[in-house]
Amino acid sequence: MKKLIVISNAILILLFYSCSDPKKDYLDRFGKFINEIELAQEKYDEDEWVISEDEFNELSKIEFIDFKDELTESELNQIESYRKRFKTIQIKRDPAGSLLKVLGF
């Protein structure tokens, strides 16, 4: 009987720790995405770059809406940092196209 109680307590502890914070998961995924893009950007072909931009929009705009009211000032600053880093990558990748976007074309 004691073994059953110990096993059930261990399972409950594992379940408790496996339930993670969605906001933390979002911030971690966003940071990991930006780091991966920075490391591999030069290897991306056009199709991979389009997929990366779509994923960035998903993280930066769509998922952001779900958490924006829960984020601390520090977390908001971190997201803004991710956005700036991605914009820098975009400019390095296509300086002429980035200039056209800024000018509204």
Residue 76 lies in a domain: yes
Residue 41 lies in a domain: yes
Domain range enclosing 49? 21-103
Residue 53 lies in a domain: yes
- Write down the pLDDT at residue 44: 86
Residue 83 lies in a domain: yes
**Cβ–Cβ < 8 Å for 79, 30:** yes
Determine the Cα angle at 82 with ends 77 and 88, to 5°. Answer: 125
Residue 15 lies in a domain: no
- Write down the pLDDT at residue 42: 85
- Write down the pLDDT at residue 6: 47
Based on the structure, what is the number of domains in the chain? 1
Residue 84 lies in a domain: yes
Q: Mean pLDDT in each 10-residue stretch from start to end of the chain (105 residues)?
A: 52 56 94 94 89 95 94 96 94 74 61
Residue 90 lies in a domain: yes
Residue 14 lies in a domain: no
- Write down the pLDDT at residue 4: 46
Encoded tokens for 90: 């975009």
